[in-house]
Structures are given as C-alpha cells and as structure tokens.
Amino acid sequence: MTDAGPLIGPDGLARCPWGLSTEDYVAYHDEEWGRPVHGDDALFERLCLEAFQSGLSWITILRRREGFRRAFADFGIAAVAAFGDADRERLLLDAGIIRNRAKIDATLANAKLLADWEPGELDALIWSYAPDPATRPAPRTLADVPAVTDESTALSKALKKRGVRFVGPTTAYALMQACGLVDDHLEDCAARGGGAAPGH
C-alpha cells in the first residue's frame, strides 16, 4: 500500500488511498485534512488528538472526536486549564475517549501551561515552522509522504523546550499535515491544494 497512488472513488474522484479506506475517512480527507487551521484553541485540540493517537490508528481517534470534545470542554484552553482532580477522575472513567492516564495528564498539564501564553502565541509558534511549499514537491504515492521532517523535529523541540508534553517529531508532523502547514495530498488527489469533492 505504501507505493499506492490515488484511488478513484465511487463518485469518480481520485483520492489518497487512505481517504477511501473507510466511510468515516472520506469527509475528513475531503474537507479537513491538509486545510489550514488557525486559532489557539483549534490547534490545541489538534495537538491533543494527535497525542492521543500516538500508538493507535487515527480512525480510532476520529470516531471518538465528539466524545473527546464533550469530555474536554471543546478543547477551550482556559476551560481545560481549570480542570481539577474530579475532572481528571471523570476523564479516566469516560468510555467516550481513550482512557490513557499519561495522555490525559499531558493534556491537562499542557492546557495549564498554554493558558499562560499570550493570545495567538501557540498559533504563531506552530505556523512559524511551516515549510515553503515551493520546496516540497507533491507526493506521487504514499511512499513519498514522510513520517518525520526537519521542520517537525524542530517544532517538536521548540514545543518541548517551552514545556509542552507528548509532542514528538512524528506527532508534530501529523499535526502539520492535519492543520495544513504542509499539503501531503497526493499529486493527483482531488483534495490537493484545497480542492473539495463536489457535494461535500
């Protein structure tokens, strides 16, 4: 599968192979993945979900995303920063999320840390590591899509230096892909460059 190029879906559009692997992925692939995401709370949500995804498949997280949003107050940084011991215990018992103690603790700690940052500071820091699109040729197959880059390694180091937890270079790169810092849709994918599937 790693050397697979785009696949043609039932609607006749070419998509990245993973975007057709389950029904849940189609809308996510067409409408969200690779589109620019800005705003501290929105980026905090993606940072948290990518951390929870570590060691799991993204579909596991995507199918629980609404559960995560309910559990973590829609990932408002100030709201999560105010969570106390009772909230932590509630999260550890919440079947709507991934009940991983280390990841829950990292999410709570990161919220408390980020609540002290200036508005827009997280957004500016993350986006400062977006590479120049001209330096990145469009991937033709999945084999051309990296798991880690120099930029994601640098972003991971910068976040860790500021005290952010659970954000290694691979997690940082997944964040960059999901939030549009890079466009890793395959060259002939209909969603590349912000294109959307008709009807979505």
What are 153-170's pLDDT values in tens digits?
999 999 999 999 999 999
Contacts of 74-81 with CB under 8 Å at 24 or more apart are 74/41, 74/45, 75/41, 75/42, 75/44, 75/45, 75/48, 76/41, 77/40, 77/41, 77/44, 77/111, 77/114, 77/115, 78/115, 80/44, 80/107, 80/108, 80/111, 81/111, 81/112, 81/114, 81/115
Does residue 28 have an active-site annotation? yes
Gap between the Cα atoms of 97 and 172, Å rounded = 21
Of the residues 28, 32, 117, 127, only one is catalytic, namely 28
Does residue 50 have an active-site annotation? yes
Q: Does the pLDDT at position 194 exceed 50?
A: yes
Of the residues 32, 58, 127, 187, only one is catalytic, namely 58
Q: Does the pLDDT at position 198 exceed 60?
A: no
By the 10 Å C-beta count (0-12 exposed, 13-18 middle, 19+ buried), 2 is classed as exposed
How far is the CA of 137 from the CAs of 72, 151, 176, 182, 194, in angstroms? 37, 15, 16, 11, 16
Q: What residue type is assigned to position 124 of the chain?
A: A
**Planar angle of CA 94, 97, 102, nearest 5 degrees:** 90
What are 82-124's pLDDT values in tens digits?
999 999 999 999 999 999 999 999 999 999 999 999 999 999 9
Quick check: helix, strand or coil at residue 15?
A: strand
pLDDT score recorded for residue 72: 98
Of the residues 50, 129, 151, 173, only one is catalytic, namely 50
pLDDT score recorded for residue 4: 76
Gap between the Cα atoms of 138 and 141, Å rounded = 9
